């Protein structure tokens, strides 16, 4: 993935038109770029994707995607995902994966903050992004 969504955010591999698509900065609406610049003035070397009709900016770290932020086409903030080591996920996340995904390896993890200020954890398992609450309780596949 390396698109954390971790979009959510971050970015998930889904079938059909919901799949994230890399796009050029010139194809991102001005309102989206303006909101990014105002909210994240230190974001540099930003790469862009279009996912589920929204625009996702990615930057930072070795992969260039330690921070992912998603905006609507009008420039409204949707969510921010910051990459974290898998070891920082609540223990309940690993237990859930072990039970429900036959012990599959968690490839990437992130801490998600949505527009309302709610916090979640995201983990990528077998090309899917799983969302968990702050205590590690499974919420949904994103």
Ordered domains of the chain (ranges, CATH): 16-141 (3.10.450.360)
Instruction: Beginning with the edge strand found earlier in the chain, give each strand of the sheet holding 138-141 in spatial order.
Output: 21-23, 47-51, 54-59, 67-71, 77-84, 108-114, 119-125, 128-132, 138-141
**26-77 pLDDT tens trace:** 999 999 999 999 999 999 999 999 988 999 999 998 766 699 999 999 999 9
- pLDDT, residue 61, reads 80
Predicted TM-score (pTM) of this structure: 0.80
């Amino acid at each position: 993935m390396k698109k954390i969504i971790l979009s959510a955010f971050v970015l998930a591999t889904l079938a059909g038109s919901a799949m994230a698509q890399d796009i050029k900065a010139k194809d991102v609406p001005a309102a989206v770029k303006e909101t990014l610049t105002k909210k994240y003035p230190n974001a540099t070397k930003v790469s862009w994707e279009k996912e589920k009709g929204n625009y996702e900016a990615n930057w930072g770290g070795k992969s260039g995607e330690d921070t992912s932020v998603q905006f609507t086409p009008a420039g409204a903030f949707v969510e921010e995902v910051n990459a974290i080591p898998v070891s920082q996920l609540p223990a309940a996340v690993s237990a859930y994966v072990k039970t429900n995904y036959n012990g599959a390896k968690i490839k990437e993890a992130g801490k998600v903050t949505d527009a309302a200020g709610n916090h979640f954890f995201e983990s990528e398992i077998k090309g899917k992004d799983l969302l968990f609450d702050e205590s590690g309780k499974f919420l949904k596949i994103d």
